[in-house]
Amino acid sequence: MRAVFLDRDGVITRSFERGGRPYAPRTLEEFEILPEAAPALRRLKEAGFLLVVVTNQPDVGKGEVPREVVEEMHRRLATALPLDAIQVNYATDNADPGRKPNPGMLLEAAGALNIDLRASFMIGDRWRDIDAGRNAGCRTILLGDGYGEIPRIAFDHSFATLAEAVDLILNPPPNP
C-alpha cells in the first residue's frame, strides 16, 4: 500500500507564527482545519493512497496543553477528513524514537497498515518532517519556506500549497 504521511500543524491545520516560528493551536477555539485540506485529501484517497497524520505535540508533554484537548482535535480531524490513522508523539526529548525527526511514527504506521515506505510521501512544513520522512525511506515534500529552517536532509520537492503537492503526487513527472 502507498501512503501519504502528513504533518498536522501548518499542513492540514492552521499553525500560529510567533517570532517567525510555528506553534500548534493550544485550544479547541484555535483549532482550524485548513480549507484546502479536505479536497486535497479526498483526491489522494480516491487515487488509492492511505492517509496518515504524524504529529509531534510536545506541549502536552510540557504540561501546557491537556492531552484531552489534543485528542478532541484529532477526533475532529478523523470526522472531517478521510484519514486512515493519526500518529501522535507527546515527547519533549528529541532522542525519543517516535518524535520527528526520528522516523518512529512512520515506521509504526507502516507496520500496522502494510505501507510500502518507498512508494510513499511525507508532506511537512518543517525540517523535522522532512528528516523523518527521509529517515523512513519516503519521498519528501516541503510546504512553504520551512520558516527559514534548513532541513538537515534535502527534500525532494517544495510547494507553496497542499494542492500543488497533491498534483505532483497524482501526476508525477516522467523519469528521465
Catalytic residue at 129? no
Which position has the grid cell 516522467? 174
pLDDT, residue 176, reads 60
The crossing angle, in degrees rounded to 10, of helices 127-136 and 104-113 is 50
pLDDT, residue 139, reads 97
Catalytic residue at 7? yes
Domains recognised in the chain with CATH numbers: 3-170 (3.40.50.1000)
| pLDDT one digit per residue (tens) for the chain, 176 residues | 999 999 999 999 999 888 778 889 999 999 999 999 999 999 999 999 999 999 999 999 999 999 999 999 999 999 999 999 999 999 999 899 999 999 999 999 999 999 999 999 999 999 999 999 999 999 999 998 877 776 667 899 999 999 999 999 999 887 66
Q: Annotated catalytic residue: which of 7, 84, 125, 131?
A: 7
* Cβ contacts of 133 within 8 Å, gap of 6 or more: 5, 103, 106, 121, 122, 124, 139, 140
Side chain identity, residue 41: L
* Cβ contacts of 134 within 8 Å, gap of 6 or more: 122, 140, 153, 154, 155
